[in-house]
Structure 1
Amino acid sequence: MDEHNRQRYYTSEQYLLPADEDETARLNSQHRVYYKLFGNRLSLAPLELKSGDRVLESAAGTGIWALEFFEENKKNGVILDMDCVDISDKQFTKNCPSNVHLSLRSVTDLPAEWKSRFSYAHQRLMVSSVDHSVWPKVVSELFRVISPGGWVEIAEVQLKSYDLDVGPFSKKLQSLILKMFADNGSVLDVAAFIPPLLEETGFVDVRSEVRQAFTGRTGENGYRVEERGSLFRALKRNVMRAGGYGVVKTEEEYEELVRGSELEWYDHPNETSVLLYTFWAKKP
């Protein structure tokens, strides 16, 4: 069977992306993109963590950020107690230090006993899986479980900034993807949405940084072409369930659209991009 046409495993109706080996590999490579573009930093918040402090990773995915953050602090003599939560455990790494705890939980319903538990909470790329109406609950839960003086950090993609169009295939793909995100209730403009939401929830000192991630052959300035293609293939289930948004009618047409887009991106390296944001704020 063609590797692009085999069945994918999805853990949720709400979450657009699958939870399988291909997606695990994509998430880990995406982690490297964020890390590199933001100056080889795992965190931008002005943290002063000490041994015994508790850290939360919301929407942990594979847990790669948490493991690297734990090891980075350990090298500096700081031993953290970390909780990593996600709605699926299919992608969790199998080997974790005893201080890194992985569990099945939704950020919209964290344990009551976690009130003011964490000195720092980190969350990345929930925008495609959380309806805009649910975001206030997400941020309020993060606020509740962070201790006074603690920090929250949210890394997201600016969906409306997708600039994929360098030819007929990628022009169609861009139109289709933006329709799908809007239809899904995703926040298209996180730059305008998240900072006010953080402030309304009670956070202070809200800051942000943005980077432009390009698509190229090597991924030196962002993503490799194959990484971009992998993301859009993973969205095929949702595209086809919506009838192809008037752009494609069959799975084969969608695969052809993605393959054609990849060829266009190869021919126009570093001419397509998307904006990546990191927001951080303090609980008073």
Structure 2
Amino acid sequence: MTEEHLPQRYYPSTQYLLPADQEELQLGRRLNEQHRIIIKAFEDKLSLAPLSLNTGDKILESAAGSGVWALEFAAENIVKGVEVDIECIDISAKQYPVTYPSHIHFSVHSVANLPPEWSNTFSYAHQRLVVLAMNDTLWRSAMKELFRVLKPGGWLELIEFETKRFHCGVGPSSNRLCSLVDKLFTEKGIIQNVSDYLCPLLKEVGFIDIQCQTRDVSVGGRRTIEGGDGYTGEQWGEGWMGIKVPVLTGGGYGVANTTEEFDALVQASVREWNDSKEVYTIFYVITARKPVSS
């Protein structure tokens, strides 16, 4: 497909497979809806790290997106009588909120290349859902940078979803979509066994007390029978619609060569997900600590 016929979306880098623009934010408020789904899956907790924060502690949120996590985390701590200073970063400012408290700050930075002056600054670093932007080189740079900017004894928390063990292929269309996505991820060097990959990497970088917790999150018909928690088929489809431009730029991978073919494939997959009781995804929360002696 020629460039002039591609959908007009903003992608902050050629590596990142999802758009970071107002359309992505407004499409069913996808980022904020996803935030609520993940928090619900982990017992309504904004953090699983064993934190003991004090007023004035500095927090880093990487891949801040709409800022929803930082806003809620700050408010939760205010209720406890603790006002933390949160630095929110992303590689694009297009989804940042217009108004926010003075102790929350938003800036444009890559987690793979943080400011030199941030060394040993943050008591806690939180990062969520960057797997579709990262290859091995970027992951290694990012983990080294997060280790550097944490204070000795500070905690890191990573939230990701499994891209290798999809449980979304339940019919001809969704199986074709999974095949397409697997080819795209392979070409881009996306780490697909993220849980198996990250824990050893964190240890290699120097982190200790590494823990991983997992939750299954239902999609479509399985969500319905389990009481409504998780993604509707339509919500899950909206997420995959975001990869349309990288798919078409890559030539369709022998599955979907035009916008119309891709849209029809996702829509047919949504119907299969809503009709199935077997569809789910896996989320991981990985916590790790920087040694006090670092």
TM-score by length of 1: 0.95
Distance in 2, matches of 1:184 and 1:231, equals 18
Residues 62, 91 of structure 1: 8 Å contact kept: yes
2:247 paired with 1:247 = no
1:8 CA drift (Å):
2.4
Q: Which residue does 2:196 correspond to in 1?
A: 192
Deviation per residue, 1:31-59 (Å, 9 max, x gap): 11110000000000000001110000011
Q: Report the Cα distance in structure 1 between the residues aligned to 2:160 and 2:136, rounded to whole angstroms.
A: 13
1:6: how far off? 5.9
Shift of 1:67: 0.6
1:54/1:118 contact within 8 Å kept: yes
Task: Supply the distance in 1 between the matched residues of 2:33 and 2:166 (Cα, whole angstroms).
Answer: 19
In the TM superposition, 1:1-284 aligns within 5 A as: 7-24=8-25, 25-216=29-220, 220-268=228-276, 270-284=277-291
- Contact 1:216–1:265, Cα closer than 8 Å, also in 2: yes
Q: Supply the distance in 2 between the matched residues of 1:166 and 1:125 (Cα, whole angstroms).
A: 24
CA RMSD of the aligned region, Å? 1.4
AA in 2 matched with 1:108: A
Task: Extract unaligned runs of 5+ from structure 2.
Answer: 1-5
Which contiguous aligned blocks of 4+ residues in structure 1 show a shift greater than 6 angstroms?
none
| Structure 1 position 183, deviation (Å) | 1.3
Q: Distance in 2 between matches of 1:149 and 1:165?
A: 42
Cα distance between partner residues in 1 of 2:64 and 2:118: 17
2:54 touches 2:83 (CA, 8 Å); kept in 1?
A: yes
Q: Distance in 2 between matches of 1:14 and 1:166?
A: 29
Partner SS state of residue 38, structure 2: helix
The 3-state SS of whatever aligns with 1:150 is: strand
- Which amino acid in structure 2 is aligned with residue 273 of structure 1? Y
CA contact (8 A) 2:7 2:245 kept: no
Residue type matched to 1:14 in 2?
Q
Structure 1: any 5+ residue segments left out of the alignment?
Answer: none
Report the secondary structure of 1:279's partner residue: strand
- Whichever residue aligns with residue 22 of structure 1, its letter is E
Identity level (%): 47
Aligned residues, how many? 279
* Higher helix proportion: 2
Q: Please state how far the C-alpha of 1:12 moved relative to its aligned partner.
A: 2.3
Per the TM alignment, residue 281 of structure 1 is displaced from its structure 2 partner at its CA by: 0.5
Moved more, 212-221 or 82-91: 212-221
Normalized per residue, the structure richer in strand is 1
